[in-house]
Amino acid sequence: MTILNDQNFKKFIEEAEKPVLVDFFAEWCPPCSFLGNIIEKISKEKEMQDKLIFTKLNIDESPETARQFKVEQIPTVMLFRNKEAVADFLGFMPEEAVKEWIESGLKK
């Protein structure tokens, strides 16, 4: 998974050739670890890799981006397409629900 931060976020989103999933997380948030493991697992699936790019951003290390997208509850996951955020969800979700959310978000 690609690590995004305040320095590379804007350029990465603008230049991405596929939709980008961003997992906003913090080290101190227990559900972030559980969700992070699920997203990491999904990101290794070839079918998913063909459809989108998986990234994560630590909100403590990149507060400007977190503020820009008003991330105050974590985990927050956002899907960007054509430079725009097209879908998001808050909190932990099981693997199947995350996959369904991705499929639904890709259709938006």
Q: Can you give the binding site for another protein, defined by CB under 8 A?
A: 26, 28-34, 59, 66, 71-75, 90-92
80 with 86: CB under 8 angstroms?
yes
Q: Which is nearer to another protein, 52 or 58 (CB)?
A: 58
Q: What are phi and psi of 79, to 5 degrees?
A: -115, 125
Annotation marks residue 68 as catalytic = no
- Contacts with 97 (C-beta within 8 Å, 6 or more apart), sequence order: none
* Shortest Å, Cβ 29 to another protein: 6
Query: Which residue among the candidates 1, 29, 85, 86 is catalytic per the annotation?
Result: 29
Residue type, 17: E
When the beta carbons of 12 and 92 are compared against another protein, the nearer one is 92
Residue 60 or 103 having the CB closest to another protein: 60
Whether the CB-CB separation of 90 and 32 falls below 8 Å is answered with no
Active-site residue numbers?
29, 32
